[in-house]
Structure 1
Amino acid sequence: MAEYDSSDRDDSHESYESYESYDRRDRYDRYDRWDIKKLRILRTLREYGTVTATAEALVLTPSAVSQQLTNLAKQLGVPLLEASGRRVRLTGAAELVLRHAEAVFEQLERADAELTAYVQGEVGEVRVGAFSTAVPALVVPAVRALGEAHPGITVQVREAEAAQAYELLGAGSVDLALSLAAQAPSAADPRFTRVPLLADPLDLALPRAHPLASAPAVRLADFAAEPWIFGGSGPWSEITRAACEAAGFSPHQGHSAAGWTAILAMVEAGMGVALVPRMASVRRDGVVMRELAADRPHRHVVAAVRRGSEDAPAVRHVLEALRDAAARPAAV
Structure 2
Amino acid sequence: MADWDIRKLQILRTLRERGTVTATAEALHMTPSAVSQQLTNLSRQLGVPLLEAQGRRVRLTDAARLVLTHTEPVFEQLERTEAVLAAYSQGEAGEVRVGAFSTAVPALVVPAVRALREAHPGVTVRVREAEAAEAYDLLTAGDVDLALSLAAEAPSAADARFTQVPLLADPLDVALPPGHPLATAPALTLTDLATDSWIFGGSGPWSDITRRACEAAGFSPHQGHSASGWTAILAMVEAGMGVALVPRMAATRRDGVMMRDLGPDGPVRHVTAAVRKGGETGRAVRHVLEALGDAAATGAPPSASPGTAVSAS
TM superposition score normalised by structure 2 = 0.94
Residue of structure 2 aligned with 1:236, choices 206, 211, 214:
206
Return the letter of the residue paired with 1:134. Answer: A
Q: 1:259 aligns with which of 210, 226, 229?
A: 229
For 1:95, which of 56, 65, 68 is the aligned residue? Answer: 65
Give the residue type in structure 2 aligned to 1:256: S
Cα displacement (A) at 1:156:
0.6
Kindly indicate whether residue 110 of structure 2 is the aligned counterpart of residue 140 of structure 1. yes
Give the alignment partner of residue 218 of structure 1, picking from 170, 188, 196.
188
Q: d(CA) in 2 for partners of 1:101 and 1:293? A: 47
Amino acid of the structure 2 residue aligned with 1:51: V
- Which residue is equivalent to 1:127? 97
Question: Structure 2 residue aligned with 1:171, among 141, 156, 162?
Answer: 141
What SS does the aligned partner of 2:201 have? coil
Deviations 1:235-265 (A, max 9, x none): 1111001000111100000000000000000
Paired residues of 1:57 and 1:167 also in contact (CA < 8 A): no
SS in 1 for 2:38: helix
Aligned equivalent of 2:309: none
SS in 2 for 1:285: strand
1:259-287 Cα offsets, whole Å, 9 max, x none, are 00000000000000000000112442110
TM superposition shift of 1:53: 1.1
Maintained 8 Å contact 1:260/1:282: no
Q: Which runs of 5+ in 1 are unaligned?
A: 1-26
User: Residue 308 of structure 2 corresponds to which residue in structure 1?
Assistant: none
User: Helix, strand or coil for the counterpart of 2:300?
Assistant: helix
1:106-150 Cα deviation digits (max 9, x unpaired): 001111111111111111110101100000000000000011001
- How far apart, CA to CA, are the structure 2 residues paired with 1:238 and 1:168? 22
1: distance between equivalents of 2:272 and 2:119? 23
Distance 1:331 1:92, change over 3 A: farther
Q: Distance in 2 between matches of 1:135 and 1:148?
A: 19
- State the identity as a percent: 78
Q: Distance in 1 between matches of 2:301 and 2:9?
A: 40
Contact 1:325 1:331 (8 Å CA) reproduced? no
Pair 1:288-2:264 in alignment = no
How far apart, in 2, do the equivalents of 1:307 and 1:227 lie? 44
- Say if 2:249 is the partner of 1:279: yes
Q: Secondary structure at the match of 1:284?
A: strand
Q: Does 1:108 align with 2:78?
A: yes
Residue aligned with 2:168, SS: strand
CA contact (8 A) 2:100 2:131 kept: yes
> 1:164 & 1:245 partners in 2: Cα distance?
26
Q: State the Cα deviation string for residues 180-205 of structure 1 (Å, max 9, x = none).
A: 11112222222111111111100000
Q: Deviations over 1:66-85 (max 9, x none)?
A: 11111110111110011123
Distance 1:199 1:164, change over 3 A: same
Offset, 1:87: 2.4
The unaligned stretches of length 5 or more in structure 2 are 303-313
> What is the number of equivalent residue pairs in this alignment?
302
Give SS of 2:126's match. Answer: strand
Alignment of 1:134-213 (within 5 A): 134-213=104-183
Q: 1:294 to 1:194 in 2, by over 3 A?
A: closer
Instruction: Indicate if the aligned counterparts of 2:105 and 2:129 stay in contact, CA closer than 8 A.
Output: yes
SS at match of 1:83: strand
Q: Distance in 2 between matches of 1:301 and 1:145?
A: 20
Is the 8 Å Cα contact of residues 189 and 266 (structure 2) preserved in structure 1?
A: no
TM-align CA RMSD? 1.2
How far off is 1:164 after superposition? 2.7
Alpha-carbon deviations, 1:55-107, whole Å to 9, x = none? 11112111111111111101111100111233221111111110111100000
Q: Secondary structure at the match of 2:59?
A: strand
Asked whether the 8 Å contact 1:247–1:295 carries over to 2, the reply is no
More helix by share: 1
